[in-house]
Amino acid sequence: MGISSIIFLVLFLGGFTFFALQIKRIAGNIKMGKPVNRSDKFSERLKTMTLVALGQKKMFQRPIPALLHLFIYVAFLFTQVELIEIIVDGVTGSHRAFWQPLGGFYTLVISIIEVLSFLALIATFSFLARRNLLKIPRFHMSEMTGWPKLDGNIILYLEFCLVMFIFLMNGADEALYQAGHSHAAGAVGEGSYGFALSSLFGGALFGGMETSTLELLERIGWWGHIITVLAFMCYLPFSKHFHIFLAFPNTFFSNLNAKGQFTNLASVKKEVESMFDPNFDPYAAPPEGEVAEVGRFGAKDVEDLTWKQLMDSYTCTECGRCTSACPANQTGKKLSPRKIMMDTRDRLEELSAYKKKNGKDAHDGKSLVYDFVLEEEVWACTSCNACVQECPVNIDPLSILVDLRRYLVMEESKVPSELAGMLTNIENNGAPWQYATSDRLNWAKED
């Protein structure tokens, strides 16, 4: 094994080890959430994942960004074929290991990759322009300053580097092949690989260069591509683009109930059912040895949310479609569903880091509500589900807002004055109005 292969293995194994450790860390954070059963309706869940995550179904509600995203998405999928070959070449020291065995099919696949990479390059420049030059409102909100804005740009810079290294590698290799040379084992025969784009520009751009220069450029392209891939992979767990991996499980475990259906608190439901049970004795002591667990109503912090809600926070792409569709946000209120997901993820990261340092039972005295999400944001939500409908990866910001609201009402007794009267009327009259439901149809009896 040559020195080049050893260096490759060290980088490759180091990158994958780091990535695996980050996956383990994030999985541990998600497991901090409360249990929720999402194992039912397997075939429906599989269909949802196929259509939404793999098929990008909800992206095409906005055709232009959807088409640009499709270019990058499909290029990413096809490029994995060339990446596998690069890994084989890196370990064995070979050069284009799949070329001879696959023949014309190999040429077709690499040609498709080149065309898709060119389209991805166009999409990358378009997204950079949309984020930095065009005044698209959802990309210029208060939560999209600082790191969130830089994060989106970093990914696009890395995608640009990936594409340029592919073309540098293929173009210089094409010029070498046309001259009957290769960096690997001397001459490989004159002619052309026949790749769709590099066969056109390879000779034109690199044809007049020295063989040693071409070999250097080809190696720069090859090493640059694999190093960028590893850097991209190690960066993903800290980026909003982690949805590349989480989009599939997140859509699979989507809430398949009707969007207007809210969950019931088990503790409240049990109390209500007990009230209708004629044999229930509210004064009876609990069975010997049984300790009643006092649960929290709603959610004060991330540990009170379910694991699916925490997975949602890591899956958020920060695209802002939820916020742009939110009627509360459109009327100038402080609520931004995207910010709710970002706050949940930031709080989860902060709390998990504190627990890692001080012990799993330690708490830093902060909470999701108050320290990250303001009461004003919680109460601005109209519970219309527009954010849930718009999300391209089936994230549910509303469920988090509802749980935060439940905590404020049921544990803190905090409710806007506009709602206090309504809640009192419901409790006393069974209706939001100041008269009983039995009187509501009296108007129809009038002569």
- Check whether residue 387 and residue 316 sit in a common domain: yes
- Check whether residue 91 and residue 238 sit in a common domain: yes
- Check whether residue 27 and residue 162 sit in a common domain: yes
pLDDT < 50 regions, the chain: 186-187
Q: What pLDDT, on the 0 to 100 scale, is given for residue 187?
A: 46
- Written in H, E and C, the secondary structure of 287-355 is CCCCCCCCCCCCCCCHHHCEHHHHHHHHHCCCCCHHHHHCHHHHCCCCCCHHHHHHHHHHHHHHHHHHH
pTM given for the model = 0.87
- Check whether residue 219 and residue 359 sit in a common domain: no
- Check whether residue 244 and residue 302 sit in a common domain: no
Residue 261: helix, strand or coil by DSSP?
Answer: coil
Length of the chain: 447
Whether 128 is in a domain gets the answer yes
Number of domains comprising the chain: 2
CATH of the domain at 355: 1.10.1060
Whether 438 is in a domain gets the answer no
- Check whether residue 215 and residue 311 sit in a common domain: no
Q: What pLDDT, on the 0 to 100 scale, is given for residue 190?
A: 63
Calculated CA dihedral for residues 45, 47, 51, 53, nearest 10 degrees: 40
Q: What pLDDT, on the 0 to 100 scale, is given for residue 71?
A: 93
User: Rounded distance, CA 428 to CA 438, Å?
Assistant: 13
Whether 137 is in a domain gets the answer yes
Contact yes or no for 426/432 (Cβ under 8 A): yes
Whether 261 is in a domain gets the answer no
Whether 389 is in a domain gets the answer yes
Whether 447 is in a domain gets the answer no
**Which residues on adjacent β-strands are paired with residue 150?**
none
Q: What is the DSSP letter of 433?
A: S
- Check whether residue 326 and residue 225 sit in a common domain: no
Whether 47 is in a domain gets the answer no
Residue with tokens 């004795």, as numbered in its chain: 281
- Check whether residue 248 and residue 312 sit in a common domain: no
- Check whether residue 146 and residue 212 sit in a common domain: yes
- Check whether residue 196 and residue 74 sit in a common domain: yes
Q: What is the DSSP letter of 373?
A: B
- Check whether residue 120 and residue 14 sit in a common domain: yes
219, 252, 285 — which closes off a domain?
Answer: 252
Which range marks the domain in which residue 404 is found?
266-273+297-433
User: Rounded distance, CA 254 to CA 248, Å?
Assistant: 10
| Amino acid making up residue 22 | Q
Whether 441 is in a domain gets the answer no
Instruction: Give whole-number Cα distances, 39 to 199, 206, 306, in Å.
Output: 50, 56, 14
